Amino acid sequence: MNWTSLPNLEHLNLVSCNLTGSIPEEIGTLSKLTNLYLSRNNLEGLIPASIGQLTNLTWLDLSSNRLSGPIPSSIGQLATYLDHSSNRLSGPIPSSIGQLTTLLYPDLSSNRLSGPIPSPIGQLTTLTNLDLSSN
């Protein structure tokens, strides 16, 4: 798909569409995107670093896929609601998550994350729920 042909797209909901393959790096060109729902598909591979270019994003749901590798540090420029649960993400939680000053509900459960919980999470005063279970 030519993502650059959708410069005004604000909401993208592709939940349960049997998508396969990886999330394309070009997703970062959707600069007006506020909601991105890609959950309950068969997406695999890494979360592209270009997702950090989506600075208007308030909701990012990549849950219930087969995404693997680390959570990109560029994630620290996104979202109020962040759901990466039920994937195969590994490595540490990036400390840049502490830059999400409006983050209310991050769900990183049911992955393969390891290491300490980054101390900047303790400075997120808007946080209402934090789910890191089953890692």
pLDDT in tens, 89-127: 999 999 988 888 888 889 999 999 999 999 999 988 989
* Type of residue at 109: S
Q: What is the mean pLDDT of residues 20-42?
A: 95
- Residue 65: which domain range? 3-123
pLDDT band for position 24 (cuts 50, 70, 90) = very high
pLDDT value, residue 60: 94
Gap between the Cα atoms of 21 and 45, Å rounded? 8
Is residue 102 assigned to a domain?
yes
pLDDT value, residue 2: 82
Prediction pTM value: 0.92
Q: Is the pLDDT of residue 76 over 70?
A: no
Is residue 131 assigned to a domain?
no
Is residue 80 assigned to a domain?
yes
Is residue 68 assigned to a domain?
yes
The SS3 of residue 131 is strand
Gap between the Cα atoms of 50 and 7, Å rounded? 15
Q: Is the pLDDT of residue 39 over 90?
A: yes
Is residue 118 assigned to a domain?
yes
Mean pLDDT of the chain: 92
- What is the number of domains present in the chain? 1
Residue 4: is it exposed, middle or buried by C-beta count within 10 angstroms (0-12/13-18/19+)?
A: exposed
pLDDT value, residue 74: 86
Is residue 130 assigned to a domain?
no
Return the CA Rg of the chain. Answer: 14
Strand partners, 35: 11, 59
Is residue 135 assigned to a domain?
no
Is residue 132 assigned to a domain?
no
Query: For position 26, which CATH number holds?
Result: 3.80.10.10
